[in-house]
Amino acid sequence: MDTTVDLDTFSSLVERPDDSARRAAEERWQQLDKPRAGLGQLEELGSWLASVQGRSPVRPLTAAKVLLFAGDHGVASLGVSRLPAEGGTAQRVHAVLDGTAPVAVLARRYGAEVRVVDLAVDAAPEEFPDEVVRHRVRRGSGRIDVESALTLEEATRAFRAGMAVADEEADAGTDVVVLGDLGVGSTTVAAVLIGALCGTDAAAVTGRGSGIDDRVWMVKCATVRDSLRRARPVLGDQLALLAATGGADFAAITGFLLQSAVRKLPVVLDGVVSAACALVAQRIAFRAPEWWRAGQSTGEPAQAKAYDRLTLTPLQGLDVSMGEGVGALLALPLLQAAADTLAEPSAVPTVTQVATPKEPPRLPSAAELLGRV
């Protein structure tokens, strides 16, 4: 198996979205019976969808996919998160697969499928279905404040796995990806990557992550500081950077974002993890961010710095910081609304039959429950 990747090719392979389709969409907005700019941000979203689809009128979004990359991180052992370092990520993966996690509940509401890709969860692969673990690179990762997260060969394998996932989704007909992550300690890793790429110190990029207190924040800040010292010498080599201070999930997300741009597959970014990977990807192909939208602001300082560098404006300011793609998923209805409004009326899906609600069961009165009737 070839485990090399030529990053330089992405600059030529990633094209800009279709400007002529965008202009046609903007003209179509003017033709609709409404006040000028009366639909506000939906108009810009619809024009962007036209450009990434390369057509106007746009196609309604009917095949959204929530894609969650999962991996454990060695820095979690330092207690930088309120979530348990041992078993915490595996537990969250199980909740998504069982359909009980918030992202699974919301995905059902919005008509999106959910897919989990395990790159480095610290659990036996037998715990998860084969389709979840078939891209796994390793079990867990190194503690990035004192050692590399991955070998360069592992980082390359993870990067190529992300590219393969992008091809799989594009070939399957997915029309928009809601990108998320599952991993305890991942906001610490993201802060290191963003701090290194933006040239800031640890305090400026270290956030509260899972809701940590001041004492834990100081531990996290020191961890980011020590990791930044290891990141700066390899800033010129993105794969080496991901190997030294990233992780298999970060490398895979970066590869996924770039190959999605090549395949003209639009992506909605979620939290600070996807923002960090987007920043790495921008270093490789500067046009790639034009294929992405920032779903929401989490309140993490590192995310704000990354979006400023990427010139992306969050669609919503919900401060949803739990990961799992939840914040980005909450932006999906906005994109669906923009697409439906700008599409041909005959192309917009309609509900042809409404089920008759069942009669609710009769509840006993308090007196009956007490045996008084």
Please give the pLDDT value at position 229: 96
- Give the active site residues: 324
β strands within 14-99, DSSP E: 64-71
Please give the pLDDT value at position 141: 94
Tens digits of residue pLDDT in 132-184: 999 999 999 999 999 999 999 999 999 999 999 999 999 999 999 999 999 99
Please give the pLDDT value at position 213: 85
Name residues whose C-beta falls within 8 Å of residue 67's C-beta, 6 or more positions apart in sequence. Answer: 115, 117, 165, 169, 177, 178, 179, 180, 256, 325
Q: Which residues of the chain have pLDDT under 70?
A: 1-3, 350-373
Residue 311 is encoded by which pair of tokens?
A: 């010139």
Delimit the domains of the chain by residue range: 60-347
β strands within the chain, DSSP E: 64-71, 113-120, 176-182, 267-269, 292-294
Please give the pLDDT value at position 38: 78
Contact 143, 122 (CB under 8 A): no
Calpha distance 33→203 (Å, rounded): 50
Tens digits of residue pLDDT in 34-66: 777 778 889 999 999 999 999 999 999 999 999
Contact 295, 330 (CB under 8 A): yes
DSSP state of 325: T
Dump the DSSP string for 114-162. Answer: EEEEEEE-SS-GGGS-HHHHTT---SS---TTTS-SS-HHHHHHHHHHH
Architecture of domain 60-347: 3-Layer(aba) Sandwich (3.40)
